Structure 1
Amino acid sequence: MRAHNTFPKTAGVLPDDDLRDGAEFIGGTILRADPVFMRDRLDNLADGAGVMHMTLSLPVGLQASRETWHAIVMAQLHLIGLPALRTPWVAARHTDANCDHVHVAIALRGFDGSRLRPETGDIRTSRNHQMLTRRLGLPVPDYFNAQIPRLDPPIITRRLTTAPKKRLSEALRTIFTTERPRTLGDLDRALARQSPAILRTATQNTHGTTSHLFSLDGAKIFGGELGPAWEP
């Protein structure tokens, strides 16, 4: 139930994706009509401010009624600081994927012409995720369990776009939930025990700051500064 948010310039996804054949209309604050009309209506209301596209998904194997999904969308809009009844939005449900989910297209300008600024930072999104799962009686994800060492912020699965990133993520999750490394040396040794080995090399950038690069089977994963955030 963690929201996935993007900010396209227009509501162009409505006709071909959100409201495609087989989608179920969940609700909204604009007139239900032809998908192209609804797209144009959102864009006109946004008046250059852009659109927010939000996806909410239930765990695999679970489904919600249309009424429950409508309540979830309304609650999520409130949690990100948008007045649900004064914000132009439309939601549609898809059940032809591996999980029951909804897409919500939101004009970033209210009906009164005011600019809307939803709060969608990682910390706020994680907190909202936790609140929604508890309200719905769903399992709370591991990264909300204070007893489980974790990376902070949590790794979002949909951002793991390549096989090396996925394997590195799995290795780090295993290490942080079983071995509890307290230093970078502990982390290095734990990574080296993974198969295949994951190597970390340090480099100096032009500002004299040390950065670290992880690689898996010779493939570059990501770089970045490592410091106290890796300590428990």
Structure 2
Amino acid sequence: MVKWTLLAASAFVAGCAGLPELDKVNEVYFCAAGRCGPASQSRTADEALNAVHQLFKHNDGKDFKYCSTTPAERSCAGDSPPWCHFVMGGPIPGAGCSTGGRFKAVGLDTAGRRVTTTFTEHSMWNGVPNVCQDGDSAVTVTSADEVTVKHDNYYCNWMGIGNMASTFVMAIDYIDLDKGRMGGYWAHAVVGTGGGRGTGYAIMQFPQAMKKDENWLRTILLDKKVR
């Protein structure tokens, strides 16, 4: 699909090859208030945008975790592994992993159909944590079945000697407000002292989910508080 090919090309400044995993997303499986199904059959684009905004807004400044899983399982437990891929650190091979992160300063761009935010990544290389600067991030909701998370270039340092620039894109195929989750196919690349790229499937597990007496699906025009 052209939309994901273009996103992947823009995300990988290192000139990496296309990422076919992102082409696998044809619909978003959406859960809210105990009801699940394809988003396009039960949700409008405005409802999907507002739901994502409310999920991020309720978790503004709170740590979320990544769980590496499969679309069939979509599991995220306490012992679930983070997503990882191969990164060559100079002459030393290793594994670059992200355990999660934090979204802050969540905003809503109604004209661009985006949830805007800054992002801090919690990552490591060969088990040693990186120190990463905040970067700009956005979730674009083109339609109820086309939702994309994209982090602009952000800088990370490993033990004071490893300087790296990273990019990340995630094609969302799963949103569960009841469990406070979003999932999809991710693609990540790093250049600098360490270099590598990888793809996979993961869940973003947020600490706060939609409560039974809440409604995060109200359309943007009716929900004045999200502006």
Give the TM bin, normalised by the shorter chain: under 0.3
The structure whose RCO (Cα within 8 Å, separation 6+) is larger is 2
Answer 1 or 2: which has greater helix percent: 1
TM-score, normalised to structure 1's length?
A: 0.22
| Structure having the higher Rg | 1
Answer 1 or 2: which has greater strand percent: 2
